[in-house]
Structure 1
Amino acid sequence: MVQMIYTIIMYAMQIYYYLLFISVLVTWFPDIQRTAVGRILFKLTEPYFGIFRRFIPAVRLGGGYMDFSPIVALIVWRMFVVSGVSWLLVKVLT
């Protein structure tokens, strides 16, 4: 039972990582952002990305801006959040 709870939570975190990654890719295609799927994806991922956007400003490159906060957010999710939750679950569930 404990292993099943751990597995479900880790799968959910993996799915959310994929949603974050897809959300980054969708920003390259503005037409997709305007669809119902794009709006749902934005609503699911923006709360997490918003944390990083507050602290990491967009960098001016040529005539536009490059937002590096989603890249940092993905790295933090993969390296710290997932491993931290995994460690916490192991401590709590065992």
Structure 2
Amino acid sequence: MIPVINTLLFVLNIYWWIIILSVIFSWLYAFNVVNSRNQFVGMIGNALFQMTEPVFRPIRNMLPSLGTVDISPLVVLVILFFLEQVLVQIALSYSGL
């Protein structure tokens, strides 16, 4: 059971970084730091959008509108942290520590 939990923790960690990269990329794109007409930049932005938007959209629908501020990535990161802590506690209970 421990290898399964470790694999899930690894996947959660990767998704955590994908969310961070998506937020940073959206800031760079919004402030015109990256060239929006560059095809490579567009591919990266599209890939990050497709990986994060299915998770962000339901949360955005539940949250009140804060204007231009989007806190859905923060909510997702808190949920991921909670899941990680639950998995760590499960792993500790299986290891007998």
Asked if TM exceeds 0.5, the reply is yes
Deviation at 1:3, TM superposition (A): 3.0
CA distance in 1 between partners of 2:71 and 2:7 (Å) = 30
CA distance in 2 between partners of 1:45 and 1:57 (Å) = 19
TM-score normalized by structure 2? 0.68
1:11 corresponds in structure 2 to 10
2:22 corresponds in structure 1 to 23
- Secondary structure of the 2:8 match is helix
CA distance in 1 between partners of 2:22 and 2:6 (Å) = 24
Identity rate, percent:
24
Deviation at 1:91, TM superposition (A): 7.2
Greater strand share, structure number = 1
Deviation at 1:82, TM superposition (A): 2.1
- Secondary structure of the 1:59 match is coil
> Is 1:17–1:77's contact at 8 Å kept on the other side of the alignment?
yes
The unaligned stretches of length 5 or more in structure 2 are 30-35
Does the C-alpha gap of structure 1 residues 6 and 26 become closer, same or farther in structure 2, counting only changes over 3 Å?
A: same
- Among 66, 81, 84, the residue aligned to 2:83: 81
Deviation at 1:72, TM superposition (A): 1.8
1:38 corresponds in structure 2 to 45
CA distance in 1 between partners of 2:92 and 2:4 (Å) = 11
Of structures 1 and 2, the one scoring higher in RCO (CA 8 A, sep 6+) is: 2
Does the C-alpha gap of structure 1 residues 51 and 81 become closer, same or farther in structure 2, counting only changes over 3 Å?
A: farther
TM-score normalized by structure 1? 0.70
User: For residues 25-81 of structure 1, what are the alpha-carbon distances to aligned partners after superposition, in whole Å with 9 as ceiling and x for unaligned?
Assistant: 11102238x611111111111111112101113313xxxx21122222212221x22
